[in-house]
């Protein structure tokens, strides 16, 4: 997938809009997860605007690719991206976590049918995606041209169920499975390498017979090229370890694990006053527009 400069500019602008929506919806909800949602905006933008075979006007199209969100707490970024891609009105994003809303704090398939799974308990998404990919091969054979993308956080890889599922994926040579790991190095209790060291993560996946790609998760060319290489692997599953900056685009949130599970307007020692946080975040994100323009002149 070779992206033109014009296409990259378009994706950067969309990702900025997604991040702005994430801040607005978390503030409206008064709760939710900021860091991972902001950090994964570029990955989700690349998926829904370039990579996926899907149709927002026909969400249940049988030939669509599937996106399984395992780390369901970052679902605000998926909601925001889907809204900007045309699945439902952008205005609906402000109902996040409200009583009666389709946009629950974790994905709920019964409330929003275009979501492929319900999630919340960490560590189960890879198992779900492996089951889907295996069932698809049984139903459609190895000639099936759709892919199953599982988004997972690095912190949830502490859970053993992930590795049991990956053993099965490797054994069954699921070439239609692509796992994308949000390698942002934080989890709710601190930095991943302090809580439970994961490195060398690439070698671990390789030992489970995965094709491994490591990328800058904010570089659209690297994202799309890595997916293209993964799609070309027919004899086994693939994983893309996407190195991201949690809280990307908001200076006081970037790389700070304290924003893993907190929305803007939260009183946190050493952070900007809570009444100023939304204003600062939106100003910084909107200012990215000028930076994007200058980069592509």
Q: Is the pLDDT of residue 103 over 90?
A: yes
pLDDT at residue 33 above 70?
A: yes
Between 53 and 291, the more confident residue is 53
- Spell out the domain ranges in the chain: 5-295
> Of the CATH numbers 1.10.3210.10, 3.20.20.70, 3.40.50.300, 3.40.50.970, which one belongs to the domain with range 5-295?
3.40.50.970
Chain length of the chain:
297
Inform me whether the pLDDT recorded for 57 exceeds 70.
yes
**Average pLDDT across the chain, whole number:** 94
Q: Is the pLDDT of residue 142 over 80?
A: no
C-alpha span between 77 and 44 (Å, rounded): 7
User: Residue 158's pLDDT is what?
Assistant: 95
Q: State yes or no: pLDDT of 281 exceeds 80.
A: yes
Confidence of residue 203 (pLDDT cuts 50, 70, 90): very high
Q: Residues 160-185: what's their mean pLDDT? A: 97
Instruction: Tell me the pLDDT band of 140, cut-offs 50, 70 and 90.
Output: confident
Per-residue HEC secondary structure of the chain comes to: CCCCHHHHHHHHHHHHHHHHHHHHHHHHHCCCCCHHHHHCHHHHHHHHHHHCCCCCCCCCCCCCCEEEECCHHHHHHHHHHHHHHCCCCHHHHHHCCCCCCCCCCCCCCCCCCCCCCCCCCCCCHHHHHHHHHHHHHHHHCCCCCCCEEEEEECHHHHCHHHHHHHHHHHHCCCCCEEEEEEECCEECCEEHHHHCCCCCHHHHHHHCCCEEEEEECCCHHHHHHHHHHHHCCCCCCEEEEEECCCCCCCCCCCCCHHHCCCCCCCCCCCCCCHHHHHHHHHHHHHHHHHHHHHHCC
* The pLDDT value given to residue 112: 86
């Amino acid at each position: 997938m070779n992206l033109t400069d014009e296409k990259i500019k378009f994706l950067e602008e969309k990702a900025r809009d997604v991040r702005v929506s994430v801040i607005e919806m978390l503030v409206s909800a008064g709760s939710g997860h900021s860091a991972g949602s902001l950090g994964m905006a570029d990955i989700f933008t690349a998926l829904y605007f370039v990579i996926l075979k899907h149709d927002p006007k026909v969400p249940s199209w049988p030939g669509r690719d599937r996106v399984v969100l395992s780390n369901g707490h970052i679902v605000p970024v998926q909601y925001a991206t889907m809204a900007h891609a045309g699945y439902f009105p952008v205005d609906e994003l402000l109902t996040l976590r409200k009583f009666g809303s389709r946009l629950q704090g974790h994905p709920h398939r019964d409330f929003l049918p275009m979501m492929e799974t319900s999630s919340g308990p960490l560590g189960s998404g890879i198992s779900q995606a492996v089951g889907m990919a295996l069932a698809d091969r049984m139903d459609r054979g190895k000639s099936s041209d759709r892919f199953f993308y599982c988004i997972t956080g690095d912190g949830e890889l502490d859970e053993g169920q992930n590795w049991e599922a990956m053993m099965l994926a490797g054994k069954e040579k699921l070439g239609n499975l692509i796992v994308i790991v949000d390698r942002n190095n934080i989890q709710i209790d601190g930095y991943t390498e302090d809580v439970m060291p994961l490195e060398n993560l690439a070698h671990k996946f390789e030992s489970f017979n995965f094709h491994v790609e490591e990328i800058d998760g904010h570089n659209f060319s690297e994202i799309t090229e890595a997916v293209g290489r993964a799609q070309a692997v027919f004899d086994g599953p693939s994983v893309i370890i996407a190195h991201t900056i949690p809280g990307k685009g908001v200076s006081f949130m970037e790389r700070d694990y304290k924003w893993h599970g907190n929305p803007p307007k939260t009183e946190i020692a050493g952070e900007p006053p809570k009444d100023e946080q939304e204003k600062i975040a939106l100003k910084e994100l909107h200012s990215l527009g000028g930076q994007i323009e200058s980069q592509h002149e």
